[in-house]
Structure 1
Amino acid sequence: MNADSTPPVLIDPYRRRIDYLRVSVTDRCDLRCTYCLPKGFKGYEEPANWLSHAEMARLVGLFVRLGVRKVRLTGGEPLLRRGVTGLAAALAALPGLDDLSLSSNGTRLAQHAAALKAAGVRRLNVSLDTLDPGCFARITGRDCLADVLAGLAAAKAAGFAPIKLNMVVQAGVNEDDVVRMAGFALEHGFVLRLIEPMPVGDTGRAARGIDLSAFGLRLAERFGLLPEIKGQGAGPARYWVAPAGGMSLGVITPMSQHFCAACNRVRLGVDGTLYLCLGQDDRVPLGALMRAGADDGELTAAILAGIAAKPERHDFGSQPAKIVRFMAQTGG
């Protein structure tokens, strides 16, 4: 690419501007959430195929030159990857990147929160599906709720605000804990986001969700929350907020009320595969191209070709068995 030329922005065939990239730094996770990974799963990517931090930074830099302004580090569990704070610092320094965030299950957050803040991570999303220790162990496969709560306390002490709690709501599993979670969020000034499970892999299809569109409205009324006109962050959530501040509630409804028309994101897997839609198989092997010797111009052309083929929407409703890969293999 000519250094003096103005690079094209990423506009897909449906006139959506793609300005958000989610980067999986590992497909490993230290939990086995029932809707994400099956017990005993061993189908992880070979470490030899993982992108190095330098390779990740190179690809992310190309996306930023093409107009991406928001990057989120994900997994699996990103804090399992050694040196992730160094990668965060390198990405935070990219000219043109406005927002660097990270998603975590919270089990290792107490050890890393301060370093992540110092590295330039601006926002945190923490997965937390329940405050009941027994239910937590049944969902995640581990009795480590105390570690997650300690991680949240450390993140709050490090100055992260707001901190978003992602709660995947499953019928007959944790739906009765939503009110308690809302009270916890109110007490600590967290943002609670309720998420419908998606049929990604066998585990995702086995999870039974509820319609959160109406549920979120009833919960907002219970806590005296008002609809927020402008959303918080780059995500698909619809929000309600407390008039005096101190609490926000969001719902993410890929099943009951999909948000594909406003999709602004793509995902980069740990091996450099660019996934264009969570609910489709369209992909671009950027990592393989890079390791085969592609220069920045060739990689940029591959990115543009991928965005030009981005699907209009997922087929979760009509073809729920279409996506066989598990969520952790794509990147959260």
Structure 2
Amino acid sequence: MAPAAAVATLAPAARRGLIDGFGRRIDYLRVSVTDRCDLRCGYCMPKGFKGFEEPSNWLRHDEMARLAGLFAGLGVRRVRLTGGEPLLRRGVADLAAAIAALPGVDDLSLSTNGTQLARHAAALRAAGVDRLNISLDTLDAAEFGRITGRDCLDEVLAGLRAARDAGFAPIKLNSVVHAATPEADVRRLLDYAVAQGFILRLIEPMPVGDCGRRYAHADLGALGARLAADAGLVPALGVITPMSRHFCAACNRVRLGVDGTLYLCLGQEDQVPLGRLLRDGASDAELERAIRAGIAAKPERHEFTTRPERIVRFMSQTGG
């Protein structure tokens, strides 16, 4: 069934939307197009990691678009393409165009580490990607190499310039800030974001996998308030505080892994094997029922603070 036909068939369901067992409306889907990455940020993927998903298990682009179409038919309005590093997968702009064309999708964004962005920014914008989130933890080249395992800060900055030239707005910089992060580095990033017209988002590291648990989180609510008070730049600065001030009560998202596994919570193991069902020949109606059953079982909240050892998979395996 073509995505448009699926949306037409499921129009009454779309009006009801996807409501979980705690009354939250789920209208945001993150789609991981690959678990591969060309960086090795310590909080995301351990050095020397080899346990990637077999390419034969990756959903094809048409399969991803089919599932995204079903979610759109059920009321999802926002889709984000993620990884790993999504721009390592061939044809991402074509996938973006297919998802942007789905009835009901009002907002299509992409998260990237920026290393490949200079080559792809114009094509992504033409394909219908509305917004970009770009990982950038420091502007110090030596520290950037230590964090990521590569000396490629100039490539990321070139990608940011290309994104701005392609007309992306807003462009958000995602910066993971932990207890050992020098505040001077954060202030330098904020000055850069303001000068370039970007938005800086400070993110607390989460204990996803052994590598994530090595980083002690800082209270970014306090840091963000202090920076904003000093500079008066609240519109240019945001904080994501899953550890110190979790926002689970307002969670509106689920994640689709590269193999089609639907992860219902970043901090829990609850999941639905949509990819396996799809490849076993499930109809759209059967997939819709599996999606609804999964959403109904979505956990109330993560357990990062009470059971930090719970999640053994790495962030790159789930999708950002």
Q: Which TM-score band (shorter chain)?
A: over 0.9
Aligned to 1:324: 312
**Are 1:61 and 2:69 an aligned pair?**
yes
Cα gap change, 1:48/1:174 in structure 2, threshold over 3 Å: closer, same or farther?
farther
Q: Which of 34, 39, 44 is the equivalent residue of 2:47?
A: 39
Task: Name the CA distance, whole Å, in 2 between partners of 1:157 and 1:259.
Answer: 34
What aligned pairs does 1:246-265 form with structure 2 within 5 A after superposition?
248-265=236-253
What aligned pairs does 1:226-305 form with structure 2 within 5 A after superposition?
240-241=234-235, 248-305=236-293
**Are 1:87 and 2:95 an aligned pair?**
yes
CA drift of 1:207 comes to 1.2
Residue by residue over 1:26-77, the C-alpha shift from the partner in whole angstroms, topping out at 9 and shown as x without a partner, is 0000000010101110000000000000000000000000000000000000
CA drift of 1:208 comes to 1.9
Task: Name the CA distance, whole Å, in 1 between partners of 2:90 and 2:201.
Answer: 29
**Are 1:24 and 2:12 an aligned pair?**
no
What aligned pairs does 1:117-136 form with structure 2 within 5 A after superposition?
117-136=125-144
TM-score when normalising by structure 2:
0.96
CA drift of 1:224 comes to 1.2
Aligned to 2:198: 190
Residue by residue over 1:128-169, the C-alpha shift from the partner in whole angstroms, topping out at 9 and shown as x without a partner, is 000000100000000000000000000000000110000000
Aligned to 1:232: none
CA drift of 1:197 comes to 0.2
**Are 1:50 and 2:58 an aligned pair?**
yes
3-state SS of paired residue (1:6): helix
Task: Name the CA distance, whole Å, in 1 between partners of 2:215 and 2:183.
Answer: 12
**Are 1:200 and 2:208 an aligned pair?**
yes
Task: Name the CA distance, whole Å, in 1 between partners of 2:104 and 2:280.
Answer: 28
Aligned to 1:213: 221
CA drift of 1:3 comes to 2.4
Aligned to 1:171: 179
Cα gap change, 1:174/1:72 in structure 2, threshold over 3 Å: closer, same or farther?
farther
TM-score when normalising by structure 1:
0.92
Aligned to 2:105: 97
Amino acid at match of 1:287: G
Amino acid at match of 1:322: R
> Does the 8 Å contact 1:130/1:174 carry over to 2?
no
**Are 1:162 and 2:170 an aligned pair?**
yes
Aligned to 1:139: 147
3-state SS of paired residue (2:22): coil
Task: Name the CA distance, whole Å, in 1 between partners of 2:268 and 2:184.
Answer: 32
Cα gap change, 1:291/1:4 in structure 2, threshold over 3 Å: closer, same or farther?
closer
Name the structure where helix makes up a greater proportion of residues: 2
CA drift of 1:4 comes to 7.3
Task: Name the CA distance, whole Å, in 1 between partners of 2:285 and 2:231.
Answer: 52
Cα gap change, 1:104/1:46 in structure 2, threshold over 3 Å: closer, same or farther?
same
Task: Name the CA distance, whole Å, in 2 between partners of 1:273 and 1:317.
Answer: 25
Task: Name the CA distance, whole Å, in 2 between partners of 1:114 and 1:285.
Answer: 34
Amino acid at match of 2:41: C
Residue by residue over 1:172-211, the C-alpha shift from the partner in whole angstroms, topping out at 9 and shown as x without a partner, is 2444300000100010010000000000001100012210
How many residue pairs are counted as aligned between the two chains? 312
**Are 1:10 and 2:18 an aligned pair?**
yes
> Does the 8 Å contact 2:205/2:217 carry over to 1?
yes
Task: Name the CA distance, whole Å, in 1 between partners of 2:216 and 2:120.
Answer: 33
> Does the 8 Å contact 1:280/1:314 carry over to 2?
yes
Cα gap change, 1:317/1:158 in structure 2, threshold over 3 Å: closer, same or farther?
same
Structure 2 gap ranges (5+): 1-5
Task: Name the CA distance, whole Å, in 2 between partners of 1:3 and 1:34.
Answer: 45
Task: Name the CA distance, whole Å, in 2 between partners of 1:219 and 1:78.
Answer: 32
- Percent identity between the aligned chains? 71
3-state SS of paired residue (1:107): coil
